[in-house]
Every structure is written in C-alpha cells, then in structure tokens.
Structure 1
Amino acid sequence: MSASTSEGTVPSARALLWTPSDSVRDANRRKIIRAVMAGPGTQVSIARQADLSQATVSTVITELQGEGIVRVDNTEGERGKRVRLGAVRGVAVGVEVNHNGLTVAARRVDTSTVEHESVDFGSDQGGAMWVREAARLIRELAAQTGLDEEHIVSIGIGLPAAVDPRSGAIAQVAASLSWDLSGNPQSRFQDHFPNVPVIVDNEANLAAYGEQVYGAGRGRETMLFVKASTGIGSGLIIGRRIYRGRHGLAGEVGHLTMDPQGIVCRCGNRGCLETVVGGTRLLDQVRQAYAGYRMDLPTSLESMIERAKSGDVVCRRILQDAARTIGVALARVCNVVNPEIVVLGGELGRAADFLVDPLQSSIRLYALRGMFDSGVEPMVVAGSELGLLAGARGALAFALQIDRTVEL
C-alpha cells in the first residue's frame, strides 16, 4: 500500500487510508493508522481499539515507525510508550447538527489542535440550509488547518435522528423537525466532497463517543452520556462501542414516561421526560415564577444557565430540580445497563458545577445501591469535559474509524 504523494515526502492520509487492497496485512495497517489518527495511545489501547492482537499491533507499529508514519515516545516504560502519528497530510472533519444550528470541528490528523465553528439558523430554516452551511464551514475550517478540502479524509455527521445501524439511512427524524433528513444523507454531500467517506449517526451517540475517546469517559468500558438541551437524548457506550439497538433508537431517555397523565409530547405520547425538563419547559417555569414581577426574562436555556451562575435563585432552583428529575430517569437506565460512569452533557453540562450533585443524589436514591456501595469501584457521575464540542469531536473520531476503501 503506497503512501506516495506529489507534495514531497510527507505521506498523504488519503493514500494511506483510501488505497484499495484485499490483503489482511494492509487492512490491519489501515486499522492501526486510523486508531492513531483518532488520537495517540499505547500499543495496548490501540490493539483494543483496532480489535487486533497486541503481537499484530507491535509488528505493524515497528513497520510504520520505520516508514515515518508513526512516532513512538520513549519516555515511559515499554507498555506505556505512546504511539503518535508522524507528519501525515490530511484533515478529519466532524459535524453535529442540532435543532437550530450546527457545529463543525476539523483537525489535521497529525496534530491535536481542533478548529471549530458553530452557526445558528433556527429550526424553521434548518431543513433548507443545513447541508449548505455544513459544507461551507467544512471548507473554511479545513483551510484554517493549513490544508484544504482536497486533503479531507473523512466526514462524520451527527443528526437529531435515529440512524439505521446497518444501512446508515435515517430511521426516524426528531418529531419536532420538518427538515428533510430522509433517505441516506451521505449522498447529499457528494456534490460538495466527491468520494470522501461520510459517516452518519445520531448526534447523542457521537457525543457519547467523543467523551469516551477524548473526555470524561476515557478508558471506560461502559458509559451513559445524557445530552440535556432543548430535548433530552443519550448515548450508550457498551464494551467501548456505541450501542444503537435494532432500529437505531437506543438511548432515547427523553421519551421515558415520567407521568402517564402528563403533557402530550412531540413524539405523540404523554408525560415523557422532555415534557418535564426539556429546555422549553424550564423556560416556562422561569416565566411563571416571575410573572408580574420581572420583564427581563431569559429567552434561551443558555441565558437561563448564565443567570443561574450569576446568582439568580429561581433559575438555579429550576435547573437543580431538573437535574434531580433527570436522575430519576437515568437511575432506571442504570439499573438495566450498570455503567461505569454517567456523564452530563449538552447545555446543562455547562452548569455541571452545580448540577452534578443533585443529579448524582437522585441516581443514588433510585438506582440499585450496589452501584455505589459495593466493594468495587463505584459508579461515577460527572460533567462533560468536551462541552458543546462533544458531538462534533465524536463525529470526527468515529468517521476516522470506518474503513470504506471498498466503496471508494
């Protein structure tokens, strides 16, 4: 598998990853290169991520090191040596699409510096422009890395939709959106980025993956990530892999029934978690509390959180009550999955300093006690380390792992 390039002696990521070959040796090389592109790691962690034996990884790493494709740090013990990518020319991209905007992250595969940008366009306009806006930001951020769109090796996209884990097609779109997300979204990017692999998944799944690779879930086998923003979603990591379920609908905690006689949800059921602690409902509670007393009320969950941080006792109380309610729902999931860690992300993750404690207290109250009180390491509840970049960074890392040389 040649990595030659017309741009001097610097290997091309496209050549390394895209050159078709049916040999097991080349397939193993690609797996290991992809794992190292996602982030530096020890040979042990690379073997686990690439699903290869440590002996195979050791042999291939020695070969790649001789070619200058990877570097091995010699500052730690043999098992702790970290493998990093050498000078390789390529850009990896991740996109998270939300109800009213999107975030794009781009990174040269041989650096750790992530370029990112967000754009808001409103839920009423997103269906007509999300692909166009994503393509524009991808080109701009690729240029900011010092390369350009001709060096893009993969694009990961997280959508507010259930994605069929076998075909990559949209199985179900968020009920509140009138966007056209039907069919296979990959085809909509072909005019912009011909032949570049486009990998699509649910945005909460990819945010969970981002935390597992780069954030609060590093090194964990099982993780429950909750994305609490306008809606409530979650991603499950089981055995270090995203768990999607038969139809791509796993992790829809926002539609756990909290009150069978409650408010009708956008999904058509009653009393879902989202109807109790979704962003719109929390803002309604602030307006009710201040009715007749204040006019300068928060108009977004972001501004509500900022007020809570600045000492607004009403906003803080409503948010903490929401965390307790989310904890009741997550305790049910924990009793089924028994994760090592629960991570609070999304907009509410930005207020983790005063929401993790009530969230954890509620989970402890309603989950099985052995998760906290047994002799082994207790389950951890923590705030997101990646914040609102979790989805885009997870999409970037996940797309790098998918080998599509046969299709290319």
Structure 2
Amino acid sequence: MNDRGRDAPFDARTLLTSRTDSLREANRRRIIRAVMVTPGTQVSIARQTHLSQATISAVVNELVQEGVFVVDSGEGERGKRVRLGPVRGAAVGVEVNHSSVTVAARPVGAADVEYSTVEFGADQSGNLWFRRAVRLIRETVERTGLTSDHIVSIGVGIPAAIDPRTSRITQVSSSLGWNMTGDPRDQFQHEFSNVPVIVDNEANLAAYGEYVHGVGLDGHETMLYVKASVGIGAGLIVGGLIFRGRHGIAGEMGHLAMDTDGTVCRCGNRGCLETLIGGIRLLSQVREAYAGYRIDSPQSLESLIERAKGGDPVCRRVLTDAARVMGLALAKVCNLLNPEIVVLGGELGMAADLLLTVIEDSMRLHALRGMFDPEFAPVRVVGSELGRQAGARGALSFALQVDQTIPA
C-alpha cells in the first residue's frame, strides 16, 4: 500500500516518469498508458501492448494494490474491465487542416472528450496555425477542470509527411504555401515544457482514431482510412500500427496519377486524383454548371454536400461522379494492399449515405474479383464513425500511448 491519502489523486506525470531503465518499469508504463487510452480487459490490454498475459496480470495486480488501477466486476478473471483509479492528468490531441485547427482534450481517467475548433484562412501565415493551437490547447484543457501543468502528452496531426525516424517534415501538403520545415515538436515544447509531443500526418492520426475509437472497434487487421476534403489523403493501419513508409509519404492517395495527360496538380504532376475530386475541383464544377444563371453557388464543400442532400441535381451529380472516380482509385489501392475495410472520412464522409454504394459499385467493377467474393469475407466500405473528430481524437490517443518519458 502507499502512504497517500485515500482519496488523493495520483499525478499522471509522475506515473509516466522514467524512474529506472528496467524492462519491468517500461512494461509498467506501457500498461498504464494503454489503460489511459482506453479501459479494457487484460486480454485487450495484451493485444494493445503486445505483452504476455502473465506480465499483464502481474502488473495489473500490482497497480490495483497501489490504487492506480480499479478492476470492475465481470465474468471470468480476464473478463474484468481495468480502468484508472484517481489519477490526475490531461491528454491532448491537435489536428491541423488547411483552414482550421481542432483540439481534443480529456482527463486520462475519463471517457468524455472536450473539443474546440477555430477557423482561419488557408492563405494566412504558416505560423498562424501554431499560435491558434497553443491558445486552444490551454482553453480546452481548462474546460476539463485541469490546467496546462497537468498535460502528459500532446499529439499533433499536420498536413505534411513526417519522417518516422526523425519526426522532421519531409514534404508539406502541395495545396499549402506554408513554410513548415524542421521538427514541429520544438515549437510546442517551448510552450509546454517537459511534455512529450508526437507529430504525424493528420490523415494517419485520423486513421488511428477511427481504428481505436470508431469503426476499428469491431476488430480489423488492416484498415484503410480515406480523408477526402480539400485534398485527398489516406492512412493505413496494419496490425494496430500506422504504416508510414520510408519517408512518411505512404497514404498520399490524392497524388495517385489517374490521367497522365490531365490537369496539372499543385504537386507538379498531371492528372492526380485531387485534380479530379478534391474539394476545390468539385466546387468549381458546380460553379461552371450554374454560370450565367441567377443561382448562388455553394462556397464550401460542406454546403455543397448539404445542397446535394437537399436534392440539388447539380450537386448530387458532381458528388456521384466523384464517387465513381474514388471507387476506381480505391480499386487500384486495394489491389495492392487488400485491406479488410475501407473507411470514408473527411468532409466527403459526411455524404457517405450518398456515396458509398456508388464507390463500392465502382470498386467492384475495377478491383480483382476475389476482393468482393462473398465466400471470403469481402472488403467492406463504410463511413467514418468519428467524423470530423477523428483526427484530433486519434492524435490524443496515439501520443498518449507512445512511451517518450521525461527522466526523473
């Protein structure tokens, strides 16, 4: 037993601080982090941490005795749900999009997540997103009843490719003119000292969020998440891990060449998928259809989708055509990767009820037949369950489970 007051909370930072370099201490921290991400049974903790059942059982018992963990009643010894006891700390996730920043924050022992979003112009200074993010982090954490001093981790998803070995930016989204180079962690750690900061591509972290808290809860070995908005990105989850590729560029589906003689893309190539079905192109098609008529065109992809759902024939046709092209692109990707499930997210995910059938029909037409053979669990195409919260939620959970401790 410990000498703390019975109801006094543990400090999450202290629990996650490296006291020794022993394997036992590392396993202990890994298990605590897993339960902070999501409470679960010892079986699910073992699946998440890749530790043996014996190790899980020993550490869980030890932490229950200390009061760090609480085990709820359930059927069977390993069917009992393990959750945090009185532990004080906040986890933060940030998603940076082309024109907005979203922050998610929650106490490490709570289920409810606080979200905040601020919009800004895509043509603004490349540092504006950082200033907005810092302010939003502090404001959102305070809404949880905690302060910035209680933050244990910050995950940041940005529209750029991140080298998985160095965390340095290898390539910024071609649709942005921002000067984003070097290691983005440096800026955050200047504002939030002694807080581990994990940075990754925003589509990768949205995929992770959907895998841990959304569609992936059904259990999938491989999941392809497509973030379709102004740009088209994707994240691939294999065995619970994000697949990034050598330079962190894996998943740049928007730059899949669909027409080598097509429109020049801002990446410098021709006929990229984004030039055909990116948000700017879809809005342009609607404006072209309405040119010369006294009809207001939608000014955003969200309003285009709303009008399509309301029966606007032009908006519906533009989205339907985009879905067919998306299906063709996904057929090419799936022929290479053969995932169990494809998740449509981003702003186009809001129109999943209009698009999924068309996407799947196009995939069936162009993909290998075995992909959809009913005898062999055909690939499923579904809409995102987390919607616009996927990126920030994934950033929060991914950073929380990465063991980058501050030495004692």
Is the 8 Å Cα contact of residues 18 and 407 (structure 2) preserved in structure 1? Answer: no
For residues 52 and 392 of structure 1, the distance between their equivalents in structure 2, rounded to whole angstroms, comes to 27
Q: Which amino acid aligns with 1:22?
A: D
> What does residue 252 of structure 1 align with?
252
For residues 228 and 339 of structure 1, the distance between their equivalents in structure 2, rounded to whole angstroms, comes to 18
Q: Deviations over 1:27-64 (max 9, x none)?
A: 10100110111111221121121121111111111111
Is the 8 Å Cα contact of residues 209 and 398 (structure 1) preserved in structure 2? Answer: yes
The alpha carbon displacement at 1:312 in A equals 1.1
Map 1:282-321 → 2, pairs under 5 A: 282-321=282-321
For residues 186 and 98 of structure 1, the distance between their equivalents in structure 2, rounded to whole angstroms, comes to 17
Q: Deviations over 1:313-366 (max 9, x none)?
A: 211121122112111111111111111100000000111111111111111221
For residues 2 and 266 of structure 2, the distance between their equivalents in structure 1, rounded to whole angstroms, comes to 50
User: Are 2:357 and 1:360 aligned?
Assistant: no
For residues 27 and 293 of structure 2, the distance between their equivalents in structure 1, rounded to whole angstroms, comes to 66
Q: Which amino acid aligns with 2:86?
A: A
> What does residue 58 of structure 1 align with?
57
Q: Secondary structure at the match of 1:112?
A: coil
> What does residue 139 of structure 1 align with?
138
- How many residues are treated as equivalent by the alignment? 407
Q: TM-score, normalised by structure 2?
A: 0.96
Structure 2 unaligned segments of length 5 or more: list them. none
For residues 289 and 77 of structure 1, the distance between their equivalents in structure 2, rounded to whole angstroms, comes to 63
> What does residue 73 of structure 2 align with?
74
For residues 166 and 7 of structure 1, the distance between their equivalents in structure 2, rounded to whole angstroms, comes to 43
Q: Secondary structure at the match of 1:342?
A: strand
Map 1:270-281 → 2, pairs under 5 A: 270-281=270-281
Q: Secondary structure at the match of 2:55?
A: helix
Q: Deviations over 1:70-129 (max 9, x none)?
A: 222223344432222222101000000011111100011111100001111111114131
Cα root mean square deviation, aligned? 1.8
Q: Which amino acid aligns with 1:270?
A: R
**Which stretch of structure 1 is more off in the superposition, 215-224 or 390-399?**
215-224
**Which stretch of structure 1 is more off in the superposition, 177-186 or 337-346?**
177-186
Is the 8 Å Cα contact of residues 18 and 25 (structure 2) preserved in structure 1? Answer: no
Q: Which amino acid aligns with 1:140?
A: E
Q: Which amino acid aligns with 1:16?
A: L
Q: Secondary structure at the match of 1:150?
A: helix
Q: TM-score, normalised by structure 1?
A: 0.96
**Which stretch of structure 1 is more off in the superposition, 315-324 or 94-103?**
315-324
For residues 368 and 407 of structure 2, the distance between their equivalents in structure 1, rounded to whole angstroms, comes to 47
The alpha carbon displacement at 1:378 in A equals 1.9
The alpha carbon displacement at 1:307 in A equals 0.8
The alpha carbon displacement at 1:294 in A equals 3.4
**Which stretch of structure 1 is more off in the superposition, 305-314 or 250-259?**
305-314
Q: Secondary structure at the match of 1:96?
A: strand
For residues 234 and 86 of structure 1, the distance between their equivalents in structure 2, rounded to whole angstroms, comes to 37
Distance 1:353 1:77, change over 3 A: farther
Structure 1 unaligned segments of length 5 or more: list them. none
**Which stretch of structure 1 is more off in the superposition, 7-16 or 94-103?**
7-16
Is the 8 Å Cα contact of residues 43 and 57 (structure 1) preserved in structure 2? Answer: yes
Map 1:5-404 → 2, pairs under 5 A: 9-218=8-217, 219-404=219-404
Q: Which amino acid aligns with 1:360?
A: E
The alpha carbon displacement at 1:11 in A equals 0.6
The alpha carbon displacement at 1:293 in A equals 2.3
Is the 8 Å Cα contact of residues 3 and 15 (structure 1) preserved in structure 2? Answer: no
% same residue: 65
